[in-house]
Amino acid sequence: MEPAQLADLLMRAARRIRHGQSDALAPLGLNPSQARALRVVLRAEAPLRMSDLAARLGIVPRSATTIVDALEAAELLTRVPDPANRRSTLLRPTPRALEVGEALRAARREAAEALFTRLDEGQRAELGELLTLLAEES
């Protein structure tokens, strides 16, 4: 199979995962970008600065601000002054975010299971090895 065909198939599979996750996230009132940002904040060992969140997401700080605005409006994050730098703001998850985080994990798991259920354990392992190889930077 041609590399372009492989790339198209990979993109179609990724799109199916995104759509499955979007459908599962809709009842939570989140889009995939917001869910991803919330997962990053929830996984962080300490409150993150906005710039750190943007860097971890691979987006520009202005885009992170838009996402954080929506998460704050949904009462999932709060902004607090950074005691180490008055010009910086730290992001803290709210108690509600911890509950929503569990639902996010379930939504992600369900979307992935829906796609990969067609594969047996051996095929999943092989696909995992191939994707790991492709994801490595050379």
Distance, in Å, from the CA atom of 54 to the CA atom of 115, rounded to the nearest integer, reads 29
pLDDT, one tens digit per residue, over 86-137 is: 888 899 999 999 889 888 888 888 888 888 899 999 999 999 999 899 888 7
For 39, how many CA atoms within 13 A lie in the half-sphere containing its CB?
Answer: 17
pLDDT at 134: 87
- Concatenated DSSP letters of 42-60: HH-SSPEEHHHHHHHHTS-
Query: Across residues 44-69, what is the average pLDDT?
Result: 93
- Answer whether residue 13 shows pLDDT above 90: no
Nearest to 68 by CA among 42, 84, 91, 52: 91
Mean pLDDT, the chain, rounded, equals: 90
- Domains annotated for the chain, with CATH where assigned, are 3-135 (1.10.10.10)
> Which is higher by pLDDT, 53 or 18?
53
Q: How many CB atoms lie within 10 A of CB 111?
A: 20
In terms of Cβ atoms closer than 10 Å to its own Cβ (0-12, 13-18, 19+), residue 17 is middle
**Lowest-confidence segment of 23-27, 61-65, 114-118, 128-132 by average pLDDT:** 23-27
Query: Across residues 56-83, what is the average pLDDT?
Result: 94
pLDDT at 138: 63
Going by the DSSP 8-state scheme, the letter that residue 24 receives in this structure is: H
Q: What pTM, to 2 d.p., does this model score?
A: 0.77
pLDDT, one tens digit per residue, over 38-49 is: 999 999 999 999
Distance, in Å, from the CA atom of 67 to the CA atom of 123, rounded to the nearest integer, reads 36
Amino acid at 101: G
